[in-house]
Amino acid sequence: MAEKTTKKTTAAKSTATKTTAAKKSAAAKKTTAAAPRAAATATAPRPAVRKTVTRKRAAATVSHGAAATQAVTGWRRFHRKTKVGVVVSAKQPRTVIVTVERLRKHPMYRKVVRVRKRFAAHDDAGDVREGDLVRIQESRPYSATKRWRVVEVISRLGEAGAAAPRVADVEKALEESEGAAEFLSKPADESDEATEETEA
């Protein structure tokens, strides 16, 4: 029994020495392979680390000329999302509800469907009325539901209708351009005869 235990312990010691020797030789190989790399990296200059510039810092470092052009563009600053929609409610103070429509294809039936979504937008000036076409831009949270603000009123309610030509004016212009006025008007001598007959 004692012989078996001594054989087991000697076998375990020999395997332990083999594994440690194998580990040492592997470590020696790694260090010799890594030595040329370390020498090459030590002589080569280190690449410059790029600084990340925040948007606020970028806005602060803009020159005066670029600031003037930014003031002209206004809502395009910082690449925030913008949407164009129609104001459907302007009853609350400094808040308007804007409906934005878009077309999307149904994933299964491939039919183009009109999708509407309503956004609560902040109106600083308070001059936006119901029916106006406005551009809204995402911004900081103004309240629990407001994350958009009105940046531009594209057209007021009724402006497009007032500028559009009337149907009667369009028809008259078409008749004149085609020469239909000559055919529709009666000659002068026929109209005189018709008035004389009615008098008699």
Q: What is the mean pLDDT of the chain?
A: 74
* Range with the poorest average pLDDT among 99-103, 105-109, 121-125, 174-178: 174-178
Stated pTM of the model: 0.45
* 50 pLDDT higher than 90: no
Closest CA to 135 of 59, 65, 200, 76: 76
Q: Where are the alpha helices (DSSP H) in the chain?
A: 2-43, 55-60, 64-73, 159-163, 167-178, 180-184, 188-199
> Residues 6 or more apart from 100 whose CB is under 8 A from it?
83, 84, 85, 116, 117, 118, 119, 136
Q: Which CATH architecture does the domain made up of 78-161 adopt?
A: Beta Barrel (2.40)
Could you report the per-residue pLDDT of 156-184, keeping only the tens digit for each? 887 766 666 677 777 778 777 777 666 66
- Digit-coded pLDDT (tens) for 1-36: 555 555 555 555 666 566 666 666 666 666 555 555
Residue type, 75: W
